Amino acid sequence: MATVEKPFRIVIVGAGLVGLTAAHILSKTDIDFVILERHENLTPELGSLLSLWPPTFRIFDQLDLQDKLEPVLNPIDNGVTMSADDGSIFTSWNPGELIKKNHGYGLKVTHRPLFIEALYQSLPDSAKARIKVKKHVFKVNVSDDGVVVECTDGTVERGSIVIGLDGVHSRVRQCMQAMEEGRAAPSISETPKSPYVTTYRMVFGSIPIPPTLPNNVNHECASGRVSTQLLTGNSLAWFGVYEALDKPTSERIKYTEKDKEEAIQRWGHLYTAPGMRVRDVFGLQDGNFGMINLEEGRVDKWYWNRIVLASDAIRKLEPHAGLGYNSGLADVVVLVNKLRRLLETTRSPDTKALEAVFADYQEERKKDEPIVHDMSMRRARAYAWLSPMDKIMTKYIIPYTSFGVYSTNRIYGPVVSRAPVLDWLEEKSDTKNLKIPYAHHPIVKGKKSKNALSRNHSYYNPSAYIGVVIAAALTGVGLQYYHRILTMISPKAT
Ligand SMILES: Cc1cc2nc3c(=O)[nH]c(=O)nc-3n(C[C@H](O)[C@H](O)[C@H](O)COP(=O)(O)OP(=O)(O)OC[C@H]3O[C@@H](n4cnc5c(N)ncnc54)[C@H](O)[C@@H]3O)c2cc1C
């Protein structure tokens, strides 16, 4: 008698930013899935900023989301870097234009609650029906046959694999690591130590655009161990105060209203845009703002058995460079590409075949991990200086060299160019003939696009990055003299 293959089914834990985008991706496939989300409301109460990079727009194009998301997107025309202490301007330029020339899309930011709402509302009804809210996952069981996921309300979901998209404090990760190590998972009431480390914490929120400021400008203000940000969009502005902790920690900290008030008092005098200080910004907001730890780090193993993790469950990036969601989406793109290929050969893959796909996914995604982490860590430290070199870099080297252009072309550019696309779904926009060509293109009608970036292409050259660091260090040394001359010409240059 012929055996009947069990239909492949994915249980996703977490309907956050990446979980909802995964719902869009999977609804374009014939793969069955369900998403379990512990909250009733998918939209966060607090509105933080979310910036999107060009490869994410390529995926949105493939998912037919461009028009649906455009109303909640804001272009960023200009970036201004200033001193948080005295308001003097270090640099002012338009990185968005250069990025658009290089990659076909500029930089855009969005208000997180509006973006999540737009992502959810643009899902087909069949996908919305697969998102189950108020389902707090506390246990994951695996067998050769599949997975069983248990929620605190007694709900049980069965499937072929589990994808943990449940964020920084991932319960799926805790269960997976415990099973792999042959121990019991921590009780749900425990707060296990994070695999990530917090160096900075942040106060954030949104306000109406201050009348004295232009729209669509990102102001970032630097100082010792603290930095501020005020980014204006089309009709809203987002602020942030980032401060270094006395000592990095892996403890989970919940901040109180008093903590927030004290932070504003402490940093009220700092500039956050030309003519605007932190206390002015707080005068414009309605009291609805947050304070959180900004963890950084990654976990070594991203999968075990029939469980695989992605996005914040495996890596946490400091948000200055705006790469967390963008990287998490790239994880899901690579994972689904590989799963689809496997399912073309069998609809009921065994654990070994699945583990091989997960290992392949981890290997591919890990190639760009070091540089993505480095970019995020450097960006944070370029503003809230932890060392004299951080200060020298921001205050003297970057303003007096074309480092911004160089790093956009030679550091950011290659990472963007290597970002994945859904290799089975058509890309409608023309992403050919760009200054920095993309390495990956969908396979349309059985043909791979010809302009895929070759490994020998100069943008792959890893020495470019080392070159920048060496150039920066050399400039730093020579700068002592350069800076003395500048001070003589204009004392304000200090
Ligand atoms: C202040 C700030 C600014 C940022 N700015 C940017 C930016 O500009 N650009 C960018 O790309 N990234 C940015 N990021 C990072 C970005 O927010 C994250 O990388 C992104 O949210 C990760 O998406 P996710 O879906 O993996 O996790 P999340 O968005 O955290 O979603 C996880 C979901 O899982 C659910 N969940 C958790 N545990 C369970 C459980 N046990 N059972 C069921 N459900 C569960 C949660 O309720 C949540 O809905 C920023 C982050 C912060 C903090």
Out of 166, 190, 206, 412, mutate this one to test ligand 1's pocket (max ligand atoms within 8 Å of CB): namely: 166
Rounded to whole angstroms, how far apart are CA atoms 453 and 311? 26
Q: Which two tokens stand for residue 207?
A: 């306000």
141 plus 256 within the same structural domain: no
Task: Round to whole Å and give the CA distance between 140 and 67.
Answer: 38
pLDDT one-digit tens code per residue, 31-82: 999 999 999 999 876 778 999 999 999 999 999 999 999 999 999 989 999 9
Nearest Cα to Cα of residue 200 among 244, 250, 168, 252: 244
Q: Which pLDDT score is estimated for 483?
A: 36
Q: Give the whole-angstrom CA distance, residue 146 versus residue 304.
A: 13
CA distance 446 to 424: 9
Q: Which atom of ligand 1 is nearest to the CA of 20?
A: 25
The two structure tokens encoding residue 111: 């208000």
Residue 323 lies in a domain: yes
CA 482 to each of CA 261, 389, 468, 477: distance values in angstroms, whole numbers, following the listed order:
42, 16, 19, 9
Query: What pLDDT score does 4 carry?
Result: 60
Cβ–ligand 1 distance for 56 under 6 Å, the answer: no
Distance CA 412, CA 379 (A): 12
445 pLDDT higher than 90: no
Q: The pTM is what?
A: 0.91
* Cβ of 116 below 6 Å from ligand 1: no
Q: 368 CB contacts (<8 Å, ≥6 apart)?
A: 415, 418
Domain edge (last residue) among 232, 266, 296: 296
Same domain, 139 and 43: yes
Q: Under DSSP, is residue 434 helix (H, G, I), strand (E, B) or coil?
A: coil
Atom of ligand 1 nearest to the CA of 15: 49
Q: Is the pLDDT of residue 452 over 60?
A: no
Q: Tell me: the pLDDT tens digits for 332-342?
A: 999 999 999 99
**Beta-sheet strands, E only, within 182-236:** 197-207, 217-224, 226-232
**Where does a domain end: 344, 368, 392?**
368
**Spatial separation of the C-alpha atoms in residues 421 and 442, rounded to whole Å:** 7
**106 Cβ closer than 6 Å to some ligand 1 atom:** no
Q: Would the pLDDT of 102 be above 70?
A: yes
> Are residue 442 and residue 357 in the same domain, yes or no?
no
Residues 40 and 28 in one domain: yes
User: Are the CB atoms for 203 and 241 separated by under 8 Å?
Assistant: yes
Domain end (from 279, 296, 313): 296
- d(CA 151, CA 147) in angstroms, rounded, equals 13
**Whether 307 and 180 share a structural domain:** yes
Closest CA to 238 of 118, 130, 319: 319
Q: Is 379 in the pocket of ligand 1 (CB under 6 A)?
A: no
Residue 125 shares a structural domain with residue 212: no
Task: Grade residue 189 by pLDDT with cuts at 50, 70 and 90.
Answer: confident
Domain of residue 359, residue span: 9-53+108-191+299-368
For 19-32, b where at least 16 C-beta lie within 10 A, e where not — what string? Answer: bbbbbbbbbbbebe
Percent of the chain with pLDDT over 90: 80
Cα 409 → chain centroid: 20
116-130, 134-148, 393-407, 435-449, range with the lowest pLDDT: 435-449
**b/e map of 356-378 (b: 16 or more CB within 10 Å)?**
ebbeebbebbeebeebbbebbbb
SS3 state at 233: coil
Residues 130 and 205 in one domain: no
With the most atoms of ligand 1 within 8 angstroms of its CB, the residue from 13, 17, 383 to mutate is 17
CA of 28 to the centre of ligand 1 (A): 23
The pLDDT of residue 455 is 35
Question: For residue 158, is pLDDT > 90?
Answer: yes
Q: How do residues 392-436 score in pLDDT, each as one tens digit?
A: 999 999 999 888 899 999 999 999 999 999 999 999 999 888 999
Domain count, the chain: 3
One-letter amino acid at 132 equals K
Of 357, 461, 378, nearest to 415 by C-alpha is 461
In angstroms, the CA 351 to CA 473 distance is 50
